[in-house]
Amino acid sequence: MAKELAKTYDPSGIEDRLYQKWLDKKYFHAEVDESKKPFTIVIPPPNITGQLHMGHALDNTLQDILIRFKRMQGYNALWQPGTDHASIATEVKIIEKLKEEGIRKEDLGREGFLERAWAWRKEYGGRIVSQLKKMGSSCDWDRERFTMDEGCNKAVNEVFVKMYKKGYIYKGSRIINWCPVCNTSISDAEVEYQEQAGHFWHIKYPILNDDDTESGEYLIFATTRPETMLGDTAVAVHPEDERYKHLIGKNLMLPLMNRKIPIVADEYVDREFGTGVVKITPGHDPNDFEVGKRHDLPIINIMNDNATINANGGKYEGMDRYEAREAIVKELDAMGLLVKIEDHVHNVGTHDRCKTTVEPLVKAQWFVKMDELIKPAQKAVREGEIRLVPESMQKTYFNWTDNIRDWCISRQLWWGHRIPAYYCDKCGETVVAKAAPEKCPKCGETHFTQDPDTLDTWFSSALWPFSTLGWPEQTKELKYFYPTDVLVTGYDIIFFWVIRMIFSGYEQMGEKPFKTVLFHGLVRDDKGRKMSKSLGNGIDPLEIIKQYGADALRLTLVTGNAPGNDMRFYYEKVEANRNFANKIWNASRFIMMNMEETQPTKPEAADLKPADHWITSRVNRLIKDVTENMEKYELGVAVQKIYDFIWDEFCDWYIEMVKPRLYAKDDAKSRNAALYTLKTVLIDALKLLHPYMPFVTEEIFCTLQDEEESIMVSDWPVYDEARNFAKEETEIETIKEAIRGIRNVRTEMNVPPSKKAQVFVVSDSEEKRGVFTGNNDFFKALAYASEVIVQADKSGIADDAVSVVIAHVNIYMPLGDLVDLEKELERLKKEEQRLEGELKRVNGMLSNEKFVSKAPEAKIAEEKAKLEKYTKMMEQVKAQIANLAK
């Protein structure tokens, strides 16, 4: 006996209950099972600092759709979840919190700070997970991992030591990006360039004679960062520059510091730009650093880690970089060395986390050498071993891999994987090992100090596809679930994450980490702007779920969107999708109300009507299309088809067609056949929809079946040739066309629905007449007919009856006074015109010799059929016009 369903679908309450049921039944859990084929997705681990935002919502919806789809198809589906320690993001957050308590991280010391950090993780780390659950994500939570858990740490150490031994990891002094606020180095990828209004300070340095006396001549140049002059060790000009050629090799006096510096020649200088003279500060500018190397210039570091001037800055020691800038400009001006100041807009590198202007500094850091490592990653994508969806992302991918630079992996932070390098307290020997060494291999000393730095967050994320499956242990999970099948992620982290996982997979596992990468875009606000904290235009997915339900949100995020494209978020769209959930709910409710007394049984073939075959054939086709689309990751296209099928074909047509049979209780067999078809087609549609809208579909499925079984572990529908009914499809299409024509005419004539009329169906084709007599039950109802009369000719039909012309059939409705003959004539003339156009087009094509000789036969046949159809329709319309004119 079917349960009673509420009149409108209310997701609140239902969703949590169903999710709990799925958890209790362990449906999300996957165990290694050699008898089944695995299908694996590893989650892009959200930051433990994170709050669920629309980006997560989209990312996780896509993954959940794929995993539920494959699970229903019979795969052993594993969605491996976990979270990321997000070193900088988290450390910044904790420091902020400490600040509220008036504590600096140094006060706590490393141990104390880490204690706080772990406590923080314990308190907030689970928040994002519980939020993902609200989305309906079917992750195997029993396998939840954390990028800094014991296993991941083991994997990190293993990789670090191995790559160090291979020479892929090295320590070197390089100019790196330094964030003076976070007090750490950051990688190139973490630098964000911002346009800022600044100044060009034009400054001149005195040129020295060979005997070091001032020549009275000057070299003028411009700089945006005058304070760096304290660290200048040269001035460069272009070797071919006629203006300065004679000065090359001479020296200048660096003002304020009173240091003699050379004039060097370097191709790097652009003669066209400014005065064609560049001051060289190898310690504080990446380009200058390179110039310095070429000319063997000394590197002078004038800055402390907090961006104040150090002892090398002479009397400016202790000043902040901007304070020093002001003081220096003032003094140069006083000395008459400041030529002019210009306004200048330029790009300034800032730290993407805290927006502080980064300071290029020369520091000893750990790097990963990329030139060899990247090769298999390039090859894999080039040769199709790894597929990127959409394919156009390959271009971005190669743009990155082709220009790759060594990866700075050390961070001067405490929260993260500590670098497994140990320095001998006595002789300073470096030992890289998974654990602290017993004694120094060089001097035998037993005391070591571990490198204080930690690793870039992405170092552990790069190992995620295999570290989560147990690597470096050779677990059965690793053997079974690796390589994973799909990675779903935003195109914005191709470089940060995707590329690094790929080369790490090949290097550590000797195998790709995943077969396909499905990219999605950004979720923007309704004006197309990025959602951001600073703009305050972010929309909280949890709020949407509360208001409209998770299903409506999920559908909103995937419909009408192609892979890799950005999308805009509209409340109206969510509302529309909420309405869709309600629509299915009510259709199901209707079916169940009609099944209250008896459950339908499988009908005899003879009891099935054309309409039943039609909808069966349609859903069968839908199964094929949707499955194909989903296999190709065309998730938005697939769900659009399901939506259209359910709303238009199933609800607006089939249910309406079947109503007369449900209400007429005298023909039990026909009623049973209709109910059976309603139920089976609905179940098929629900199954197809389930990956997208897991909650409503489950609730209805369970109520409909009246059992505890779950749709999420039911079998995915399979296309079945035996459920194809081409003849009935054409038949029903004819009836639909007739009904649409009748409705159309009636609306145009302002005939109220309550006013029923006789409907004459005239056709010289016996077959066509059969179609109408065979479907009379619903045709009569949907055509607002008081009576349907099917006959071979026009006898007995009033001359002023309104006519509807469809292919091979003429329909007449004697509406008497309700019809304005003038208007009717006008309508027919319009129809005549339309047909004329159609005929012209078809004839044009068919009389084109080139078309007939070159186009495929099927296409030609199609056009010929149309020609015949339109010709016939034209004859009828012309006859009717002549008739009315009488």
Partner RNA sequence: GGGCUCAUAGCACAGCUGGGAUGUGCGUCCGCUUCACGUGCGGAAGGUCACAGGUUCGAGCCCUGUUGGGCCCACCA
- How would you classify the pairing of strands 234-237 and 277-280? antiparallel
Contact map string, positions 103 to 142, toward RNA, x by CB under 7 A: ----------------------------------------
The CA R_g of the chain, rounded to the nearest whole Å, is 38
Restricting to residues 346-375, which ones interact with RNA according to CB under 7 A? 346-347
Task: Tell whether residue 719 is a contact of RNA (CB under 7 A).
Answer: no
Tokens 């964030």 map to which residue?
Answer: 179
Restricting to residues 437-456, which ones interact with RNA according to CB under 7 A? none
In total, the chain counts a number of residues equal to 886
**Any idea what DSSP says for residue 473?**
S
Task: Tell whether residue 61 is a contact of RNA (CB under 7 A).
Answer: no
- Minimum CB distance to RNA smaller for 346 or for 439: 346
Q: Do 211 and 220 contact (CB within 8 A), yes or no? A: no
- Minimum CB distance to RNA smaller for 139 or for 592: 592
Restricting to residues 193-252, which ones interact with RNA according to CB under 7 A? 193, 221-225
Contact map string, positions 812 to 841, toward RNA, x by CB under 7 A: -------------------------xx--x
- Minimum CB distance to RNA smaller for 51 or for 640: 640
Restricting to residues 536-565, which ones interact with RNA according to CB under 7 A? 559-562, 565
Name which position in 149, 199, 265, 286 contacts RNA (CB under 7 A).
Answer: 286
**Any idea what DSSP says for residue 723?**
G
Restricting to residues 455-494, which ones interact with RNA according to CB under 7 A? 492
Q: Which secondary structure element, helix H or strand E, spans residue 328, and what is its range?
A: helix 321-334
Task: Tell whether residue 423 is a contact of RNA (CB under 7 A).
Answer: no
Restricting to residues 661-680, which ones interact with RNA according to CB under 7 A? 663
Task: Tell whether residue 392 is a contact of RNA (CB under 7 A).
Answer: yes
- Minimum CB distance to RNA smaller for 78 or for 696: 696
Task: Tell whether residue 586 is a contact of RNA (CB under 7 A).
Answer: yes
Side-chain half-sphere of 292: how many Cα atoms within 13 Å?
Answer: 23
Pick from 498, 382, 392, 384: nearest CA to 42: 498
Name which position in 842, 873, 874, 877 contacts RNA (CB under 7 A).
Answer: 842
Task: Tell whether residue 278 is a contact of RNA (CB under 7 A).
Answer: yes
Task: Tell whether residue 855 is a contact of RNA (CB under 7 A).
Answer: yes
Q: Which two tokens stand for residue 289?
A: 């650093």
Task: Tell whether residue 13 is a contact of RNA (CB under 7 A).
Answer: no
Pick from 824, 825, 803: nearest CA to 813: 803
Number of Cβ within a 10 Å radius of residue 118? 13
Restricting to residues 744-783, which ones interact with RNA according to CB under 7 A? 744, 747-748, 752-754
Measured over the CA atoms of residue 536, residue 539, residue 542 and residue 547, the dihedral's sign is positive
Cα–Cα distance between 137 and 156 in angstroms, integer? Answer: 28
SS (H, E, C) 289-308: HHHHHHHCCCCCCCECCCCE
Cα–Cα distance between 509 and 808 in angstroms, integer? Answer: 67
Restricting to residues 612-641, which ones interact with RNA according to CB under 7 A? 634, 636-637, 640
Task: Tell whether residue 686 is a contact of RNA (CB under 7 A).
Answer: no
Task: Tell whether residue 8 is a contact of RNA (CB under 7 A).
Answer: yes
Size of the site for RNA (CB under 7 A): 90
Contact map string, positions 492 to 511, toward RNA, x by CB under 7 A: x--x----------------
Restricting to residues 402-421, which ones interact with RNA according to CB under 7 A? 403
Name which position in 451, 866, 883, 884 contacts RNA (CB under 7 A).
Answer: 866
Q: Do 275 and 308 contact (CB within 8 A), yes or no? A: no
3-state SS, residue 343 = strand
Please report, as a single letter, which amino acid is at residue 693: M
**Any idea what DSSP says for residue 482?**
P
Task: Tell whether residue 270 is a contact of RNA (CB under 7 A).
Answer: yes
Task: Tell whether residue 396 is a contact of RNA (CB under 7 A).
Answer: yes
Q: Do 79 and 140 contact (CB within 8 A), yes or no? A: yes
Q: Do 696 and 687 contact (CB within 8 A), yes or no? A: no
Cis status, amide bond into 255, omega within 30 of 0 = no
Shortest Å, Cβ 749 to RNA: 10
Name which position in 82, 151, 276, 541 contacts RNA (CB under 7 A).
Answer: 276
Task: Tell whether residue 189 is a contact of RNA (CB under 7 A).
Answer: yes
Cα–Cα distance between 503 and 377 in angstroms, integer? Answer: 5
- Minimum CB distance to RNA smaller for 631 or for 709: 631
Name which position in 566, 607, 800, 832 contacts RNA (CB under 7 A).
Answer: 566
How many helices and strands, by DSSP H and E, does the chain display?
28, 29
Shortest Å, Cβ 331 to RNA: 19
Shortest Å, Cβ 559 to RNA: 7
